[in-house]
Structure formats: C-alpha cells, structure tokens
Amino acid sequence: MTHDEAKAAFMEECPVVYGGVTYQRISALIYRKNHTGRGLRIQAELKDNNNHSVVIVSPERIERRSSNETTI
C-alpha cells in the first residue's frame, strides 16, 4: 500500500490485512523523521480486534481487505 492508499484507507476506516491477519482499520498514521533527519517515513498503527494492543508497521506491508474476505 502506498502512502496515499494508506491515508485513504485510514480516512475511510476500511479493514486491512497484515501478516495474514485482518484488522478492522488503520487506527493511526505516524510520521517520523528518518535517521538523517532530512526526510519523513510513514507508519501505520493497527489496533487488534480485542482493543488490547497495537501493531506499528510500514504501509508497504499492509493491503486493503477484499470485499469477499471475512474477519475472524
């Protein structure tokens, strides 16, 4: 998922898949300075379905859940 796709999925609150697990939505987008301090990198926060923990991942590693998949 590109940064623009992550932003759209965040705003639309649509389900996403990371590591074979479906998350209800991207709960936050985080912008951090990179190690040189000259650029930014974006990360997505995914809250687990029980609302007990979050996973912070690169948007490139997540994808939108297709409409025919079911959430467990």
- Which pLDDT tens digit goes with each residue over 32-54? 998 888 899 999 999 888 888 89
Q: What share of the chain in percent tops pLDDT 70?
A: 92
Residue that is written with structure tokens 């923990």 in the block: 53
Residue that is written with structure tokens 């936050």 in the block: 28
Name the residue ranges covered by the structural domains of the chain.
3-64
| β 21-23/16-18 pair status | antiparallel
Distance from C-alpha of 36 to C-alpha of 61, rounded to nearest angstrom: 23
pLDDT at residue 38, as a whole number: 87
| Averaged pLDDT of the chain | 89
pTM of the model: 0.81
Q: 61: burial class by Cβ within 10 Å (0-12, 13-18, 19+)?
A: exposed
Judged against a pLDDT cut of 90, whether residue 7 lies above it is answered with yes
CATH domain 3-64 topology: Thrombin, subunit H (2.40.10)
